[in-house]
Amino acid sequence: MKPVITVVSAAVGLLLSSVTHAEEITMFDYEEATSAYQDACYLNAQFDLQSGNQDQTSFSTDASANYDQVFSSADRNTRINFVGDTSMSRGSNSDDTTKKLSGFSITDE
């Protein structure tokens, strides 16, 4: 009988020690869920160089880049997008000049 009392006493002791005081939860304990991600930065480039049987060395180059970042929460989504392009070229004739063109845009939603 003594081993049964010991087992029961141990079980009651474990039960009493496992009871904890629970704190009340308020609406101020809630944290708004947020997330963010970014798209990979894309970079494209091309270069062409011609020389030899012409008045001057001619070339053509193009480059473009794209970047996208998004931040999200329950009440707002913000997206920042950058797009940029540039190009430069020169013809093979001695009186051809270098032409440059570039532009970019940054948008946020």
pLDDT in tens, 20-61: 556 787 777 777 778 888 887 888 999 999 887 788 889 999
At residue 15 the predicted structure's pLDDT band, cuts being 50, 70 and 90, is low
Sign of dihedral through CA atoms 6, 12, 13, 15?
positive
pTM of the shown model:
0.54
Q: Residue 56 in contact with residue 49, Cβ under 8 Å?
A: no
CA 62 vs. chain centroid, Å, equals 25
44, 37 in Cβ contact below 8 A? no
d(CA 71, CA 105): 19
Average pLDDT over residues 72-94: 88
